[in-house]
Amino acid sequence: MIDQLPVGLSIAGALLLIALGLTFTFGQMGVINMAHGEFIMAGAYTAYLLQDLADDKAVFLALPVAFGVAGAMGLILERLAIRRFYGRPLDTLLLTWGVSLVLQQLARDLFGAPNVNVTAPGLLEGRLALGGMTIPYTRLFIMVLAVACVAAIWLYMNRSRQGRRMRAVMQNRELAACSGVVTERVDQLTFFIGSGLAGVAGVALTLIGPIGPSLGTNYIVDAFLVVVAGGLGRLRGAVLAALALGLLNSFVEFWTDASSAKVVVFVAIVAFLQVRPQGMFVLRSRALT
């Protein structure tokens, strides 16, 4: 039971890394991007390709490279297609679902259908004994990476000029445009950052197990649940929801099996949304009554 705690925290860290990108694209822009899972896959395969250059250091080298690769893919998708469907979430769902199928088939053509492994760095071999439990260094690295990404996003959103512009567009797009904010550029940057974070999550997932063309589909639904349960566009809500879902999934799976754990998690989310349909945290705004 004690050893399930770091397992749950590492699952929470992976979910949080995935959900951070969705917090931008779905929570702030209202775009249901089903291709987000394929950006995760792109980040994972980036680490796989870099093994020939960096051997067991590929994971460290792949973090910034995967951010750029997945971010560029997201930017291209936003420029070529999604920009024409803003304000139409169901249309973006169908569009990006089709794109995700195309990207999965492209990955099968390039890398093959079987799963492949990425060698973990030598620095992450072994376990840390702490308080009666053992934590693999790979899972500890995922936790630290998730905390670092949350801190970086918080600083960006609250301390940078571009981050404040992004928040302004999220809260009131029309008023932000009237104030001189170029909302189109903000949308491009938002989609780039959100997609890039998916690439970083993909690199982290290579430390958990093998990767394949359908890697993203195994996590995308849970990541959407994290965003919805935490509150659309709310960073602290995503953090708390990821922790809750990761720990719940870990402990329930310990007592039952993976399928039963998924069912329990879904039931818990449905029950929670019955009580708080807008999630843990809601963006406060003034409205005419």
Q: Average pLDDT in the 107-117 region? A: 92
**Domain-located, residue 281:** no
Confidence of residue 285 (pLDDT cuts 50, 70, 90): low
How distant, in Å, are the alpha carbons of 6, 75, 215, 265, 288 from that of 71?
A: 30, 6, 18, 30, 38
**Domain-located, residue 13:** yes
Angle at 254 between CA 250 and CA 259, to 5 degrees: 80
Element (H, E) at 240: helix 235-255
**Domain-located, residue 287:** no
**Domain-located, residue 112:** yes
**Domain-located, residue 180:** yes
Confidence of residue 283 (pLDDT cuts 50, 70, 90): low
Which residues are within 8 A (CB) of 129 and not within 5 positions of it... i.e. 6 or more apart? none
**Domain-located, residue 289:** no
Round to whole Å and give the CA distance between 145 and 141. Answer: 6
Task: To the nearest 10°, report the CA torsion of 81, 82, 87, 93.
Answer: 100
Element (H, E) at 129: strand 127-130
Domain count, the chain: 1
Q: Which of 22-31, 252-261, 278-287 has the lowest mean pLDDT?
A: 278-287
Q: Crossing angle, helix 58-80 and helix 36-54, to 10 degrees?
A: 140
pLDDT tens, residue by residue, 90-111 = 888 889 999 999 999 999 999 9
Confidence of residue 288 (pLDDT cuts 50, 70, 90): very low
| Contact status, residue 246 vs residue 9, Cβ threshold 8 Å | yes
Closest CA to 79 of 187, 4, 152, 5: 187
**Domain-located, residue 286:** no
Two structure tokens written together for 273? 């949304």
The CATH code of the domain that includes 86 is 1.10.3470
Predicted local confidence at residue 284, as pLDDT? 59
**Domain-located, residue 282:** no
Two structure tokens written together for 105? 């088939």
Q: Is 289 a residue whose pLDDT tops 60?
A: no
Mean pLDDT for all residues in the chain: 86
Predicted local confidence at residue 103, as pLDDT? 94
Percent of the chain with pLDDT over 90: 29
Burial class (CB in 10 A: 0-12, 13-18, 19+), 196: buried
The 3-class SS string of 131-192 reads: CCEEEEHHHHHHHHHHHHHHHHHHHHHHHCHHHHHHHHHHHCHHHHHHCCCCHHHHHHHHHH
| Contact status, residue 215 vs residue 56, Cβ threshold 8 Å | no
Q: Average pLDDT in the 186-210 region? A: 90
Closest CA to 63 of 196, 189, 153: 196
Domain assignment of residue 116, given as a range? 4-275
Q: Average pLDDT in the 221-227 region? A: 87
Q: Average pLDDT in the 163-190 region? A: 84
